[in-house]
Amino acid sequence: MIIDVHGHYTTAPAELRAWRQRQIAAIGSPFNEPLTISDDQLRQTLEAGQIKLQRDRGTDVTLFSPTAGGMEHHVGTFETSLQWSRTVNDLIYRVCTLYPENFIPVCQLPQSPGVDPATCIEELERCVNQLGFVGCNLNPDPSDGYWTDPPMTNRYWYPLYEKLVELDVPAMIHVSGSCNPNFHGTGAHYINGDTTFFMQLILADLLKDFPALKFIIPHGGGAVPYHWGRYRGIAQDAGRPAPEELMRNVWFDTCVYHQKGVETLVEVMGPDNVIFASEMIGAVRGVDARTGRYFDDTKPYVDALNLSEADRGTIFEGNAFKAYPRLAKKLARQ
């Protein structure tokens, strides 16, 4: 089985965006309008989009979450973020109920800059316990480009981590868009977020405090595999444990979109720490003029690696079951 752990509902019907715009326009006054989208509309967007690509590319199931760039945690208050998160999570739940063999739900959290992350627990529990979600996306920068909250290893975040461990679900560390004009969203802010989080892990005891906590760092782990010697050296100079020790709890995904990048990723991190993902449809939508394939068609890069079939299976499915402990039961039920 080929499990893509990283897909977003970027093709949602335009009604979603329109609803969101009305919600934002109403900030400061009550807004109770329900989102109205039919099942047929959902089917249309998926069958022409993600499901078609799954079929074309030969992947089986996608862990599916709301559009990351659309999380926009900086917008409005915690209540704004909560209403938006519930709305998009409910939409993901509907998609995964319509197509249980194609999509497994992953939720957005109602984060808000400067607001205690413990406020996200209720929505996380609702998604996992009531709606069968298997993971969440956790934004390390709810200000969306200005990094105004404490580092992810600060005790500020600990109540949320306690709940993740209790529920046995991982977090994919995933920023949203960038409001800071210095940082292009998917080209800089995403990669900064991935790299920043790993560097924070090196300098703190978060994984000692939570040995069962699991993280997926998307976009190939940002700059980390490419600069592995730098991170090992910084850890050594600082008297910190070797970064390899962090990798019992951390996986990097395959969304780097070129062959040499995937080769480096797997060579440096090893197959046990690389998890198959495409992030379709979204970050890079075009066809690579050199290969004639979509940049985010990531399966051929993994197929072309010089690996044993066992190691390839680890990347395509084994690591997904390890990182997302609730996934096996969920797939077995279908």
SS3 track for 24-51: HHCCCCCCCCCCCCCHHHHHHHHHCCHH
Closer of 141 and 279 to Zn ion (Cβ) = 279
Distance between CA 37 and CA 213 in Å, rounded? 36
The CB-of-167 to Zn ion minimum distance in angstroms stands at 21
The least distance separating Zn ion from the CB of residue 89, rounded to whole angstroms, comes to 16
The alpha carbons of the chain give a radius of gyration, in whole angstroms, of 19
- Residues with a catalytic annotation lie at 279
Nearest distance from C-beta of residue 37 to Zn ion, angstroms:
22
Q: Which of 16, 42, 53, 68 binds Zn ion (CB under 5 A)?
A: 68
- Smallest distance from the beta carbon of 70 to Zn ion, in angstroms? 11
Q: Is 92 in the site for Zn ion (CB under 5 A)?
A: no
- Cβ nearer to Zn ion, comparing 279 with 297: 279
Site for Zn ion in 224-283 (CB under 5 A): 279
If the CB atoms of residues 10 and 81 are measured against Zn ion, the closer one turns out to be 10
Report the C-alpha gap between 36 and 34 in whole angstroms.
6
Structural tokens at position 90: 């409910």
Q: Smaller CB distance to Zn ion: residue 279 or 296?
A: 279
**Residue 310 is which amino acid?**
A
> Is residue 311 a contact partner of residue 274, using CB atoms and an 8 Å limit?
no
When the beta carbons of 144 and 279 are compared against Zn ion, the nearer one is: 279
Burial 81-111 (b: 16+ CB within 10 A, else e): bbbbbbbbbebbbebbeebbebbbbbbbbbb
Residues 158 and 163: their CA atoms lie apart, in Å, by 9
Burial class from Cβ neighbours inside 10 Å (0-12, 13-18, 19+) for residue 313 reads: middle
Using N-to-C axis directions, what is the helix angle for 39-47 and 50-57, rounded to 10°?
Answer: 30
* Piece in contact with Zn ion (CB under 5 A), picked from 12-20, 62-70, 260-268, 324-332: 62-70
Count of CB atoms within 10 A of residue 322's CB?
Answer: 16
Written as six digits, the tokens of 243 are 């970064």
Task: Give the chain's largest Cα–Cα span.
Answer: 59
Q: Give the HSE-up count for residue 329: Cα atoms under 13 Å, Cβ half-sphere.
A: 8
Stretch 277-316 residues interacting with Zn ion (CB under 5 A): 279
The residue (of 123 and 279) whose beta carbon lies closer to Zn ion is 279
CB of 119: closest distance to Zn ion in angstroms?
23
Q: Under DSSP, is residue 97 helix (H, G, I), strand (E, B) or coil? A: helix
Nearer to Zn ion, 9 or 78 (CB): 9
Q: How far is the CB of 238 from Zn ion (least distance, A)?
A: 30
Closest approach, Cβ 217 to Zn ion, in A, equals 11
Total residues interacting with Zn ion, rule: CB under 5 A: 2
Give the angle subtended at the CA of 32 by the CAs of 121 and 90, to the nearest 5°.
Answer: 45
Residues near Zn ion, by CB under 5 A: 68, 279
